[in-house]
Structure 1
Amino acid sequence: MQNVVNALRALEAVAARQPIGVGELSRALGLPKSTVQRSLRTLHDAGWIRRAGGEVTRWQVTSKVLQIARTTELGLRDAAMPVMEELRQRTGETIHLMVPEGDAVVLIERLETDKPLRIVLPLGIRLPLHASANGKAVLAHLDRPLGELPGYTATTITDPAALRAELEQVRARGYADNRGEWRSDIAAVAAAVLGPAGPVASLSISTPASRMPDDLRAEYGELVTRAAAALSEHSARR
């Protein structure tokens, strides 16, 4: 069983840091090189990873991983769309669906507001875990070191102790918020979609900063928390 766990951890690390060599992977996982090499051979033989180009052997994931990720993503999108549409109808604002990927969350679907003043984020954009509502919603349910916390605006939380305190609040109330921490003109509230092994996605209501006063922020937070809980129940049944 431990060999399987090591191989899965290695696959996750390769996907997050690719292309990556054995030494770097060993340090990232805290495992001996010999153990990492066995895991890489297993993953390579099964077709999950391949050697990247170059003189030094480095590894990257194959299309097999991407195909499975795409299938899972499409299933999540299908389940999320009616929930997202209900949120948009109730708030009149832009609704985002994001998935965790390494040290970021990635936008995979959005339903835009009809209001003329809007902020459009492109599909595929990556947002930092510590400086976005979607990211903090996910990060609150992950057991991992915080790492580096770069600043993006004057309100970005860059102090680990302050961020840990905020993540405790996220877990207590069910949703995270963003007060211009990634871009000063964006406000958002988000809640994690939880699967059996942890967060699989996050839902958010995103607005220009001027359109989310504190009373509306709390109301939207409750709405997005209920919506994410409904999607979590669907995920648990799959």
Structure 2
Amino acid sequence: MSVISKAIQILDILVPQGMEKELSVTEISKELSMPVQSVHRILTSLCGHGFISQNSKTKKYKLGLSLMKYGFLMWDSLMLRSTARPYMVELSQTTRETVYLATRENDEGVYIDSIDSPQILKISEPIGLRLPLYIGASNRVILAYLPQKLQENLLRHVNWSSVPSLKPLSYEFIRQDLDQIRAQGYSVTTGEATDGTTDVAAPIFSYENTVIGSLNVAGPVLRFSRDNLQKYAFYVSKYADLISKELGYRSNYRARP
């Protein structure tokens, strides 16, 4: 049995059953028929990463806060998708363009849901598509509302001569665009991720008043005239606000178009 499998078994045995559960090394060893030394080594490693914590008085072990953190992240993702879906349908019917829902995973934006445009000429990217947070409206609007220090950490080591964008990007351009996004409350990009495509995206915030995703309307650039662009920016912002409010967001953090 691999070390990972053993670690998962240890985590499973510590899952609370109606109340918090604490076990000693010996108790875990007996229940899982594992050598005490192996259990102790794995527990030490899991403690180091916060997945397990040790009671300083009893010396017994229980699940740590890191698992809670990942659990909340997964819950936020599931809640985001289920909450956003009916608003995505309305946005799609209003604009007749493709609608995407994106979230952040580390330094990337990921599409987690979409509704295709009913029109023959349309944009259709796969669910699960990942791109750096500085590429494309759906990602950059998330980046714009992250804390300043985190933005810098994400942008500091980018090799701008080899970014996976169809248009040349630079640190200076991205920094200026992030300021513009926060000033107007939405992001617009053209031809960065897909040639001939314009994207308009607005941020979605959680009950913790932090950005957790974005709502995005995308289509062929020929249909995104100045008038349509303003109209789409209004609607994508409106529905992103409604999703945020349903998720428990109560602040007026960003501007409206």
Normalising by structure 2, what TM-score?
A: 0.65
Aligned match for 2:214, one of 191, 202, 206: 202
Per the TM alignment, residue 71 of structure 1 is displaced from its structure 2 partner at its CA by: 3.3
Per the TM alignment, residue 112 of structure 1 is displaced from its structure 2 partner at its CA by: 1.0
Work out the CA distance in 2 between the residues paired with 1:225 and 1:237. 14
2:90 is aligned to 86
SS at match of 1:76: helix
Gaps of 5+ in 1: 1-36, 50-60
Aligned residues of 1:48 and 1:65 also touching (Cα < 8 A): no
Structure 1 residues 39 and 164: CA distance shift in structure 2, 3 A: farther
Could you tell me which amino acid in structure 2 is paired with residue 140 of structure 1?
A: A
Could you tell me which amino acid in structure 1 is paired with residue 51 of structure 2?
A: H
Work out the CA distance in 2 between the residues paired with 1:45 and 1:66. 13
Q: How does 1:38-77 map to 2 (within 5 A)?
A: 41-45=48-52, 68-77=72-81
Aligned match for 2:136, one of 119, 132, 138: 132
Could you tell me which amino acid in structure 2 is paired with residue 44 of structure 1?
A: F
2:8 is aligned to none
Aligned residues of 1:184 and 1:209 also touching (Cα < 8 A): no
Asked if 1:152 corresponds to 2:159, the answer is no
Per the TM alignment, residue 176 of structure 1 is displaced from its structure 2 partner at its CA by: 0.2
1:188 is aligned to 199
Could you tell me which amino acid in structure 2 is paired with residue 106 of structure 1?
A: V
Per the TM alignment, residue 214 of structure 1 is displaced from its structure 2 partner at its CA by: 2.5
Work out the CA distance in 2 between the residues paired with 1:65 and 1:108. 20
Q: How does 1:169-184 map to 2 (within 5 A)?
A: 169-184=180-195
Structure 1 residues 67 and 134: CA distance shift in structure 2, 3 A: same
Q: CA RMSD in A?
A: 2.7
Per the TM alignment, residue 65 of structure 1 is displaced from its structure 2 partner at its CA by: 6.9
SS at match of 1:114: coil
Higher gyration radius (CA): 2
Work out the CA distance in 2 between the residues paired with 1:179 and 1:202. 17
Q: How does 1:102-117 map to 2 (within 5 A)?
A: 102-117=106-121
Normalising by structure 1, what TM-score?
A: 0.70
1:232 is aligned to 244
Per the TM alignment, residue 188 of structure 1 is displaced from its structure 2 partner at its CA by: 0.7
Aligned residues of 1:108 and 1:124 also touching (Cα < 8 A): yes
Gaps of 5+ in 2: 1-43, 54-62, 251-257
